[in-house]
Amino acid sequence: MYRHLREAWKTPAKSFVQDVMRQRVVIWRRQPTIVRVDKPTRLDRAHRLGYKAKKGFVVVRVRIRRGGGNKLRPILGHRQKRMGVTKMTRAKSIQAIAEDRAARKYPNMEVLNSYWVWQDGVNKWYEVIMVDPSSPSIKTDKVVGWVSGGYR
């Protein structure tokens, strides 16, 4: 099953993914920027990045605005000839910004990983896998127990 999901997400336009996601994105645009999700949209990708369907794991969908950054236009002093206001390259990737925003929203959780879900002309959506380090099921987990420092 996971192999078929992975193949479908490789080329969304040729599979069922594009039709399904176009309907979902209409709803996602009206939702808040950071939304906790019951289960991952891309199950195969989430499992490869360490997600497990048990207590202590949380998936958060984050919406990020696409495009380059802007700087404030200088209003005082000497105006340089090339102001450098638009087309500024961000210091971080958009995916790293999404992880940071999710970590700020849920301060008691640790970011495990994240993956791209969808994009349109204005926004990009990422799902961030987060782990609760104080959860007993995470402390005893062999794979992600290092987050809480519990399992050795």
Q: In CATH, which superfamily holds the domain spanning 33-65+91-147?
A: Ribosomal protein L15 (3.40.1120.10)
| In the chain, alpha helices (H) | 2-10, 17-30, 43-48, 94-105, 136-139
Lowest mean pLDDT, pick from 2-6, 26-30, 147-151:
147-151
Where residue 87 falls among pLDDT bands split at 50, 70, 90? Answer: confident
Helix (H) or strand (E) holding 129: strand 123-131
Least confident of 58-62, 70-74, 146-150: 146-150
Q: Are 130 and 120 in contact (CB under 8 A)?
A: no
Give the pLDDT band (50/70/90) at residue 46: very high
Residue 151's pLDDT band (cuts 50, 70, 90): low
Joined together, the tokens standing for residue 99 give: 């992880």
Torsion of CA 139, 142, 148, 152, to 10 degrees: 100
Domain locations along the chain? 33-65+91-147
Q: What is the pLDDT of residues 92-121, one digit of tens each?
A: 999 999 999 999 999 999 999 999 999 999
Among 104, 128, 126, 130, CA closest to 117: 126
146 and 133 Cβ atoms separated by less than 8 Å = no
